[in-house]
Chains A and B, each alone.
Chain A
Amino acid sequence: MITTEVTFDELAALMKQAAGITVDPEELKDAAESPFDSFGLDSLGLLGIVGELENRYGASLPPDSERCRTPREFLDLVNSTLKAGA
């Protein structure tokens, strides 16, 4: 099993792919405590990202994942889940 970690780069790419939001990964990292809606990401967009990650890593993310308010909160939850799964 590969130990994986979803990075800000990957999250930025997913925001583009799943929600049509263009955000620079560095900016996302710098503003990691800002709410997702300040980037223009809505609940459906986050659900799409969760679904994409679940399919990509073959793991279930906790139901709370789509309720995360900020990129930091989201990545912490996703990465701790993936680590626990590995």
Chain B
Amino acid sequence: MSKRRSGRAAVTGIGVVAPNGLSTDAYWKSVSEGLGVLDLITREGCGHLPLRVAGEVRSFDPAALVEDRFLVQTDRFSHFAMAAAALALDDAGLGGEPADPYSVGVVTAAGSGGGEFGQRELQKLWGQGSKFVGPYQSIAWFYAASTGQISIRGGLKGPCGVVASDEAGGLDSLAHAARAVRRGTDVMVVGAAEAPLAPYSMVCQLGYPELSTLDDPDRAYRPFTEKACGFVPAEGGALLVVEDEEQARERGVPVRGVVAGHAATFTGTSRWAESREGLAHAITGALDEAGAAPEEIDVVFADALGVPEADRAEALAIADALGAHGTRVPVTAPKTGFGRAYCGAPVLDTVAALLAMEHGLVPPTPNVFDVCHDIDLVTSHARPAELRTALVLSRGLMGSNAALVVRRGDDSAR
């Protein structure tokens, strides 16, 4: 290959479809102001369920962003993903068909699939008969739907993949994309968007012992406090464009950040005390890959599960991995304002980290006061700070732990 390559994976595009914003700017405005948008669930057929509060993506008009022929054959989770991918590609100046289709790949993480579409088709099958199941059930419900449709819609023939992991899979997908770029693919569209707020999908989540079932949106999700009572789910997510940094410079587009290091570990389902060691291992591994010393971390975007044992494990893991710096570095969890969108959650955190570095501002952790762990959790108001390197943490309900180190991009992106 004659192309010059840096081997570093730069983020050049961001697309967000989140409960607190349908664009990157709207999302950042809400995050930086620490607004809370958690609310009682309004989606049809969900009102009677003992899961009352969530982060819903409201006023999302898929038809404004995705063509009808794609909408009829896909679930809401793919609508989100296709919309976010298009926003990210436009942001990166890569809208339209690529000159070399094999130079652009797609990888998404998926933890809940096309549940609403699936429920509708199950209803036809069991209520009316097998002949009433439509032709799109075979391509809408499965976890690979979003990657496939993004690839088709954009004419993207590069390496395509799907990590169907728990929440930490969102960070794994970013690492997957960064490695594909290092192996020689020019551009990767990467991220996750989920739509788990349909009646049957919600029933399927009720068994998670970590789920918050409180019906007060301001109190349902308060990690790192003595009032922590679980997490609040959300829908939506984000997709990014990641490409070789050298190439981004040649294209003359702003580099919004660099995916510098990642590591993942596994410490067992719901064994949260053990996640301390797993998360610390992941942080150390990600720092190693990034060539970063613990003191270089300027801000930590916490997993913030909201389960006391898990919160304690995370606070201790940060201290274990970062040493004394772990108690001084600002830690934040903006997702308390809009919920955890499963695999989409750590991708939205990564977006928040990139924007925090661009703006020199650590966003706060909404609804959280009286922190009961030895970390410097940023609450109430955003805190100005010079931020060069951020650490994003994620743990999954099935036992995965992941850490991602992202570096600040060009000053021109700010």
On chain A, the residues within 8 Å of B68 by CB distance are 16, 20-22
CB-based nearest A residue for B74: A20
A44 to B71, CA, bound (A): 14
CB-based nearest A residue for B67: A20
| Main secondary structure on A side of the interface with B | helix
The segment out of B31-39, B132-140, B229-237, B373-381 that lies at the interface is: B132-140
B26 within 8 A of A: no
A19 to B134, CA, bound (A): 11
Chain B: residues with Cβ within 8 Å of the partner, total of 13
Q: Is the CB of B69 within 8 A of A51?
A: no
B48 within 8 A of A: no
Instruction: Provide the A18-61 mask, 1 if CB < 8 A to any CB of B, else 0.
Output: 11111000000000000000001000110110010011000000
B73 within 8 A of A: yes
Q: Is the CB of A55 within 8 A of B132?
A: yes
Q: Is the CB of B135 within 8 A of A20?
A: no
B251 within 8 A of A: no
Closest 3 CB pairs of A and B: A20-B68, A20-B72, A20-B69
On chain A, the residues within 8 Å of B70 by CB distance are 20
Q: Which of A40-86 contact B (CB under 8 A)?
A: 40, 44-45, 47-48, 51, 54-55
Contact of A48 among B67, B71, B131, B134 (CB under 8 A): B134
On chain A, the residues within 8 Å of B139 by CB distance are 44
Sample of 17 A–B contacts (CB below 8 Å): A18-B134, A19-B72, A20-B70, A20-B71, A21-B68, A21-B69, A40-B69, A44-B135, A44-B136, A45-B69, A45-B135, A47-B135, A48-B134, A48-B136, A51-B131, A51-B132, A55-B131
On chain B, the residues within 8 Å of A21 by CB distance are 68-69
> Separation in Å of the A22 CB from the closest CB of chain B?
7
Chain A: residues with Cβ within 8 Å of the partner, total of 15
Contact of B131 among A18, A19, A45, A54 (CB under 8 A): A54
Residues of B within 8 A of A (CB): 67-73, 131-132, 134-136, 139
Contact of B73 among A17, A44, A51, A55 (CB under 8 A): A44
> Separation in Å of the A70 CB from the closest CB of chain B?
19
CB-based nearest B residue for A44: B135
On chain B, the residues within 8 Å of A55 by CB distance are 131-132
A18 to B71, CA, bound (A): 11
On chain B, the residues within 8 Å of A47 by CB distance are 135
On chain A, the residues within 8 Å of B72 by CB distance are 17-20
On chain A, the residues within 8 Å of B69 by CB distance are 19-21, 40, 45
A48 to B69, CA, bound (A): 13
A44 to B134, CA, bound (A): 9
A42 to B199, CA, bound (A): 31
Q: Is the CB of B67 within 8 A of A51?
A: no
CB-based nearest B residue for A54: B131
Q: A21-B69, A44-B136 are in contact. List 14 more A-B contacts (CB 8 A).
A: A16-B68, A18-B72, A19-B73, A20-B71, A21-B68, A22-B68, A44-B135, A44-B139, A48-B134, A51-B132, A51-B134, A51-B135, A55-B131, A55-B132
On chain A, the residues within 8 Å of B131 by CB distance are 51, 54-55
> Separation in Å of the A46 CB from the closest CB of chain B?
9
CB-based nearest A residue for B71: A20
A22 to B63, CA, bound (A): 13
> Separation in Å of the A63 CB from the closest CB of chain B?
15
On chain A, the residues within 8 Å of B71 by CB distance are 20
A51 to B133, CA, bound (A): 9
> Separation in Å of the B62 CB from the closest CB of chain A?
11
CB-based nearest B residue for A66: B135
> Separation in Å of the B94 CB from the closest CB of chain A?
24
